[in-house]
Structure 1
Amino acid sequence: MAGPPAFKMRLVHVDLKGAPPKVSYLAQVFPLFHTLGANGLLLEYEDMFPYDGPLRLLRATHAYSPAEVQEILQLAAQSELEVVPLVQTFGHMEVYYLGEGEASRRWLQQEPNNRAALCLTHMKAVAGHVLTRHPGVTPLVWDDMLRDMAQEQLAASGLPQLVELVLWDYSADLDVHGKVLLMEKFQACGFRRLWAASAFKGATGASQALPPVEYHLHNHAQWLQVAGQGPTDALQGIVLTGWQRYDHFSVLCELLPVGIPSLAACLQSLLHGGFSDDVKTKVEKLLGLSSLDVADAVSKGPSSFPGSNILALVTQVSLHLRGSVDALLERNRYVTGWFSPYHRRHKLIHPAIVQYIQPEAISLLGRWSALARELEAALQCCFYPDAVEEWLEENVAPSTQQLQALLRDLSEAAGGTCWDPAQDPEVGGTWQPLPAEPPDAQDRCPRTQL
């Protein structure tokens, strides 16, 4: 019989700085998070918080209202999820340029000041402010800026008495022994309570569209080893991060609905101490999946969890859209041989060649335009218009625009009689019959040679 879970607290990170979900979608997934094994949320508000007064300018266009924030908190409570708010005060806002400001440079010129001391001074000031204003709150601090600091400097800073550290590592091959030693170091410095942070999505590529489930399962398996080999009861819990962007200036990575199978597999593996065949079967049952293939990052067959239609459509786009367009543009011998970039630029084409290119291009564009409309409708149920527009523009538009450009060039090269985009019932254009080929053109390019 399996023992208690290695991590008492299992927090799902909800990153709102990219494709923040509508409250109506959160109302659907919070109960699922609980069913899958989560008992808390790390809610990263970012610019979705309804800041007011001098901070009002920080609000996103579709920021939650105060009433919606209250509703989110109530929904979390109803699903027995403890909410830990995450507000960036240092890490993603300042830290890469630590010491480069004029005041900081002057401070660093004084002995014995150094960059580590500057970092600790700031963190201690922020933590002290939080504790003064909210005595019942304990700040959590991510550990990456502290890992390489001298043990004596950390201990003398006074910071260990003010905060709890979150040791984060999203890699599939994290150094288990090294993490255990780091935990022991932090405990020796005076940090009484430690946390772990893993990732179920948003950690394998800034433009990743589908999470590699097997990768994230390896990450969690190794965190289980850390918990088993580290100091007893040192880790209070684990945060399963699910980043939506690497930062505010990067593109969107995996959307929340697309990451739910990965989240389910990772939460269940934490609950049961690994991802056995029985655990896999349970995940499939909880999500209504006919099959979860962790190696291919593709869920086969229908599924019934909230947002599963988005996963199915995003999978189609990610795995097939670009490939189908590339096959036409780069491997269709009539395109590469008779309608090359040179031909397109100079509007040169034999009329007989059009029929070997145009129907396939129109068919592809029609198919992908229809799927894009279906995906747009599905995304609009979960996300705000700016996120929907961004995802489609980044992931669908480049390929469909290539097809549109090909059809436009064909039409222009053939005298404008091939395709009228304003009349096509499928894609906004219509394919019209070509004029009869002049005999001399047929002679120069016999059909038997094509």
Structure 2
Amino acid sequence: MTLTKKYLRKVSKVLALHSSIRWLHIGCDEVFHLAECSRCERMVRDTLRSGEVATGWAAWAAMDEKLYVFVEHVKRVAKFVKEETSHRVSPIIWDDMLRRAPPGALRSSGLGDDLVEVMVWSYAEDASSLVPPRLWRAYSPFRHLWAAGAFKGAYREDANLPDLGRRVSATLSWTALLRRLGKSRLLSDQNNLRGFVLTGWSRYDHFAVLCELLPPSVPSLLLNLLLLRSPPPGSSPTLQQTTLDSWLRFLSCPDGVGRMTPKALYADENYWASAIEGCSFPGANALEATRRWPTLMAEAAIAEDTAERVGWLTEWHARRGFSSPWRVSKALQRETAMERELKRYRAETGRILSQYISSSAAEEWLQQKVDPVIERVEKMVMWARELVKKETWKRRTLSVPNSGANTNSKHS
């Protein structure tokens, strides 16, 4: 069975499971490796020579084989979705693979023949930098378009929390862009733009680490929805204090808790998370646990750095079993306390996250974020415990057999 057939079987299962849907997003973004194998190259050449491809589309396909392979795959999947659902479900695709295609190629490809609806996405603080007006003109063959921004998962691959200032700026830039497009008649048909989607990615791709989780990102989702529901006026809209006040009310913040200005929100990417401590919304405890992690990680790093920098608890000392037990005992107290704190945090956070997400996802987050720090602290504790046991020491100069380094130098 070919990969395409396996994929179509999965699509069929999704359609069967969600029998009442009107749209199905079939992805198709960021196809970095396309038409690179000899099989693809041969298939393209043979197909174009056969005369089976419409003349107009064949001419464009001959100039851009990658575009041809991409479009033909999308058409096959889209037609499958249409036929499986008696044309009740409309397939949606991301737009980025079409951005460099000439308008003539898009018109000739057949994609715009009511096959797919295109979702134009930009997560940049200036949406128009990625999707300028010329792109919307190029998408004129498509009867329906969507727009998409993000409330999380769009800034840094290993982020713990959304940068709310960036997310707000991006959404506001979208509202301004759509307003300009409407006035310029590029979106004059009210049915042309289906709607706006707020994405919330949890990892950048299938193999990537987890980024912002959904539970602690609920405040970002809420604030961006408020901005989309009631966009500020003007060509350069700004976040209004009234919107922030509504946001805090929806988060069930007690009087006096969470009060902030737009300027404060933008000034520090982490300020918002500490400002709404004490508010009662779904995911509040997950936000508090996630917010604590960078601080705890920094404390562990400082303790580790201090232990090594003061000069008695380094890997050099541990490898040689050579240090001052009195000096090391002080570091041992600090590192042992830090080890207890980290393990307590791990247990508590695991319980909290498991209230909202699968236990495997919670465990993955802990293994990626917390466990490496615990392991480093455990190593320091192990070194210290061995060193404080010492009652006799070798004379200098010291060396360690098979250390992989020249330990007999004048600096040993």
> Normalization by structure 1: what TM-score?
0.70
Deviations 1:180-237 (A, max 9, x none): 22112211xx212111010111111111111101101111011101110112334221
Does 1:242 pair with 2:200?
yes
Deviations 1:29-59 (A, max 9, x none): xxxxxxxxxxxxxxxxxxxxxx9x9869xx9
SS in 2 for 1:382: coil
Tell me which of 114, 119, 141 is aligned to 2:93: 141
Partner amino acid for 2:35?
Answer: G
Deviations 1:40-97 (A, max 9, x none): xxxxxxxxxxx9x9869xx9xxxx9x9xx78xx9xxx9xxxx8854444x446xx322
Q: Residue 78 of structure 2 aligns with which residue? A: 127
Cα distance, 1:85–1:157 mapped onto 2, change above 3 Å: closer
Contact preservation (8 Å) 1:176, 1:223: no
Q: Residue 225 of structure 1 aligns with which residue? A: 176
Q: For the residues of structure 2 that align with 1:397 and 1:131, how far apart are their CA atoms?
A: 47
SS in 2 for 1:238: strand
Q: For the residues of structure 2 that align with 1:351 and 1:400, how far apart are their CA atoms?
A: 23
Partner amino acid for 1:324?
Answer: E
SS in 2 for 1:198: strand
Does 1:325 pair with 2:296?
no
Q: Residue 352 of structure 2 aligns with which residue? A: 378
Q: Residue 343 of structure 1 aligns with which residue? A: 317
How much does 1:387 deviate?
Answer: 1.0
Cα distance, 1:265–1:144 mapped onto 2, change above 3 Å: same
Q: Percent identity between the aligned chains? A: 26
Q: For the residues of structure 1 that align with 2:155 and 2:10, how far apart are their CA atoms?
A: 33
Q: For the residues of structure 2 that align with 1:181 and 1:349, how far apart are their CA atoms?
A: 69
Does 1:173 pair with 2:137?
no
Q: Residue 15 of structure 1 aligns with which residue? A: none
Q: Residue 197 of structure 1 aligns with which residue? A: 148
Cα distance, 1:181–1:278 mapped onto 2, change above 3 Å: same
Q: For the residues of structure 1 that align with 2:340 and 2:315, how far apart are their CA atoms?
A: 23
Q: Residue 11 of structure 1 aligns with which residue? A: none
SS in 2 for 1:139: strand
Q: Residue 404 of structure 1 aligns with which residue? A: 378
How much does 1:355 deviate?
Answer: 3.2
Q: For the residues of structure 1 that align with 2:195 and 2:22, how far apart are their CA atoms?
A: 14
Contact preservation (8 Å) 2:329, 2:384: no
Count of aligned pairs between the two proteins: 344
Matches within 5 A, 1:44-55: none
Cα distance, 1:323–1:133 mapped onto 2, change above 3 Å: same
Does 1:286 pair with 2:250?
yes
Tell me which of 265, 268, 292 is aligned to 2:223: 265
Deviations 1:352-374 (A, max 9, x none): 11332122112222222222211
Q: For the residues of structure 2 that align with 1:147 and 1:210, how far apart are their CA atoms?
A: 30
Cα distance, 1:365–1:85 mapped onto 2, change above 3 Å: farther
Cα distance, 1:335–1:414 mapped onto 2, change above 3 Å: farther
Partner amino acid for 1:342?
Answer: W
What runs of 5+ residues in structure 2 fail to find an aligned partner? 1-5, 49-58, 182-186, 233-238, 394-412
Contact preservation (8 Å) 1:328, 1:335: no
Q: For the residues of structure 1 that align with 2:120 and 2:211, how far apart are their CA atoms?
A: 23
The structure with more strand, counted as a fraction of residues: 1
More deviation, 283-292/108-117: 108-117
Contact preservation (8 Å) 1:210, 1:259: yes
Deviations 1:243-267 (A, max 9, x none): 0111111111100012111111111
Contact preservation (8 Å) 1:212, 1:294: no
Q: Residue 282 of structure 2 aligns with which residue? A: 306
How much does 1:338 deviate?
Answer: 1.5
SS in 1 for 2:124: coil
Q: For the residues of structure 2 that align with 1:85 and 1:410, how far apart are their CA atoms?
A: 58
Tell me which of 329, 341, 346 is aligned to 1:367: 341
Q: For the residues of structure 2 that align with 1:83 and 1:345, how far apart are their CA atoms?
A: 65
Deviations 1:318-368 (A, max 9, x none): x21221011111135x75311122112222221211332122112222222
Contact preservation (8 Å) 2:22, 2:90: no
What runs of 5+ residues in structure 1 fail to find an aligned partner? 1-50, 417-434, 439-450
Contact preservation (8 Å) 1:372, 1:396: yes
Partner amino acid for 1:104?
Answer: C
Contact preservation (8 Å) 1:339, 1:348: no
How much does 1:173 deviate?
Answer: 2.3
Q: For the residues of structure 1 that align with 2:230 and 2:108, how far apart are their CA atoms?
A: 40
Deviations 1:101-160 (A, max 9, x none): 443110333555322122222212221121112111111111111111111111011111
SS in 2 for 1:109: helix
Cα distance, 1:140–1:178 mapped onto 2, change above 3 Å: closer
Indicate the structure whose relative CO is greater, using CA pairs within 8 Å and at least 6 residues apart.
1
Q: For the residues of structure 2 that align with 1:177 and 1:385, how far apart are their CA atoms?
A: 37
Contact preservation (8 Å) 1:210, 1:254: yes
Does 1:252 pair with 2:210?
yes
Partner amino acid for 1:279?
Answer: T
Matches within 5 A, 1:54-133: 84-88=23-27, 90-91=28-29, 95-109=31-45, 112=59, 113=62, 114-133=65-84
SS in 2 for 1:199: strand
Cα distance, 1:362–1:283 mapped onto 2, change above 3 Å: same
> Normalization by structure 2: what TM-score?
0.76
Cα distance, 1:137–1:225 mapped onto 2, change above 3 Å: same
Contact preservation (8 Å) 1:131, 1:138: yes
Partner amino acid for 2:252?
Answer: G
Cα distance, 1:347–1:83 mapped onto 2, change above 3 Å: farther
